[in-house]
Amino acid sequence: MYVCGATPQSSPHIGHLRSGVAFDIVRRWFLATGYDVAFVRNVTDIDDKILTKAAENGRPWWEWVSTYEREFTRAYNALGVLPPSVEPRATGFVTQMVDYMQRLIDAGFAYAASGSVYFDVAAWVAAEGSDYGSLSGNRVEEMEQGETDVAGKRGAHDFALWKAAKPGEPSWPTPWGDGRPGWHLECSAMSTWYLGGSFDIHGGGLDLQFPHHENEQAQSHAAGDGFAQYWMHNHWVTMAGEKMSKSLGNVLSIDNMLESVRPVELRYYLGSAHYRSVLEYSPAALQEAAAGYRRIEDFVARASGGEPVAVGEWTPAFADAMNEDFGVPKALAEIHNTVRAGNKALADGDAALARDLAGAVRAMTAVLGIDPGEWASASAGASGAAEAALDVLVQAELERRAQARADKDWATADEVRDRLAAAGIDVTDTADGATWELKG
């Protein structure tokens, strides 16, 4: 699978992460059903907006993009999105892009003009086997792409494979002059480098269908590559019917969202709609989803009765739903049906049946990346285990301090206390002995 990743120029919002979660579920279902999945998700680390924003803020472009790339990685990790098999950056693929352009020029489908290299849409449309417009349904006559008044540009719909260097902008050398990657070319170069000229699935947000994916496909087919066999596009997140924009993006940043719900609840929410449907955001819908998730979690906790339930097997209805174009809404309905049956079993005093059903719930939720057992141990691993280890060490210090005080060795007692304070640990003396906590 190749999925178009972020162009990190500002903090991620839930529109970005919806795509991350949607394709993570696709990948997890393939993995759960026995496929070996090579999953490539790129980072577009050079682009007009990155250069503009970095310049506006007086920062180097490479520092700007790296800063936000790390924010995206943190957000993916927070929501339990599996790391990609590889995460290539556009600027690392200039050699492959030069090679791709040479192949297109040799085939008669690209040309250099004013230091840039353009894809010749008219030549490709006229060629045998051309399918330009088939992905998006757009008509060539109605297209206008990129800059219009470039000397030597043959058609208004020709798009840039490579952009001529502008003063003050980063550039790389090519046989046609110094410049920087065009957006569409980078994904053809990166996907085929890792996955071969023909591969199974290409994914991305619906807003990428045109022009980005249409042009990727045109380049690759014109170069003689079979390219993606299946295209998958996840739909938008909207708020009050409006597509996510920059202003909404600030409101719906991942950090903001995680102030009102836990990461697993946000993931449940973002994954709950079918990937091809619009997800209409409202605070009420988010809270409703969070409550829905807690019903699953509560049941698994009650069914376990303190003894962790092992992951069992999903039900046939769940598999049917997932096999029908990754039908998560139906799959979730099946999970909730199983939870209801499990709660009834608990009410009837049938603990064994409840445990079986909880095992099935764990298997099904694992496919969606929301298994309560896994999330509970992940958060315990991050804080619980570390705190328990720290407690052992601090208690030893507190015993040494108590002994010093009993020996009236005030210097040693103060030294222990000061050392703990310097490490950010507050000690409080109570009637039952000293207690400790990390300073807020």
Q: Contact positions toward Zn ion, by CB under 5 A?
A: 4, 187
Pick 44 or 304: Cβ nearer Zn ion: 44
Nearest distance from residue 194's CB to Zn ion, in Å? Answer: 13
Pick 4 or 254: Cβ nearer Zn ion: 4
Question: Within 10 A of 365 (CB to CB), how many other CB atoms are there?
Answer: 28
Nearest distance from residue 83's CB to Zn ion, in Å? Answer: 19
Any residues with CB less than 8 A from the CB of 345 and at least 6 apart, and which? 351, 353, 354, 357
Name the helix (H) or strand (E) containing 265: helix 263-272
What's the DSSP call for residue 308?
P
Pick 24 or 47: Cβ nearer Zn ion: 47
Pick 187 or 309: Cβ nearer Zn ion: 187
CA distances from 276 to 44, 202, 326, 329 (A): 24, 15, 10, 11
Is the separation of the CB atoms in 179 and 164 below 8 Å?
Answer: yes
Nearest residue to 254 (alpha-carbon basis) of 46, 25, 68: 68
Pick 146 or 177: Cβ nearer Zn ion: 146
Rounded CA gap, 295 and 370, in Å?
A: 13
Nearest distance from residue 97's CB to Zn ion, in Å? Answer: 13
Pick 215 or 304: Cβ nearer Zn ion: 215
168: phi then psi, degrees, rounded to nearest 5:
85, -5
The span from the first CA to the last CA of the chain, in angstroms, equals 44
| Owner of token pair 């043959």 | 154
Nearest distance from residue 41's CB to Zn ion, in Å? Answer: 10
Pick 47 or 334: Cβ nearer Zn ion: 47
Pick 203 or 372: Cβ nearer Zn ion: 203
Nearest distance from residue 187's CB to Zn ion, in Å? Answer: 3
Nearest distance from residue 205's CB to Zn ion, in Å? Answer: 10
CA dihedral 163, 167, 56, 49 (to 10 degrees): 0
Nearest distance from residue 231's CB to Zn ion, in Å? Answer: 12
Question: How many residues can be counted in the chain?
Answer: 440
151: phi then psi, degrees, rounded to nearest 5:
-60, 125
Nearest residue to 104 (alpha-carbon basis) of 24, 230, 222: 222
Is the separation of the CB atoms in 152 and 176 below 8 Å?
Answer: no
Pick 81 or 190: Cβ nearer Zn ion: 190
Nearest residue to 227 (alpha-carbon basis) of 215, 238, 235: 215
Nearest distance from residue 188's CB to Zn ion, in Å? Answer: 9
Nearest residue to 243 (alpha-carbon basis) of 207, 291, 293: 207
Pick 92 or 283: Cβ nearer Zn ion: 92
Nearest distance from residue 203's CB to Zn ion, in Å? Answer: 10
Q: Which amino acid is at 87?
A: E
Paired with 116 in beta bridges are 113
Rounded CA gap, 115 and 99, in Å?
A: 17
* 403 token code pair: 């002994």
Paired with 438 in beta bridges are 425
Nearest distance from residue 340's CB to Zn ion, in Å? Answer: 42
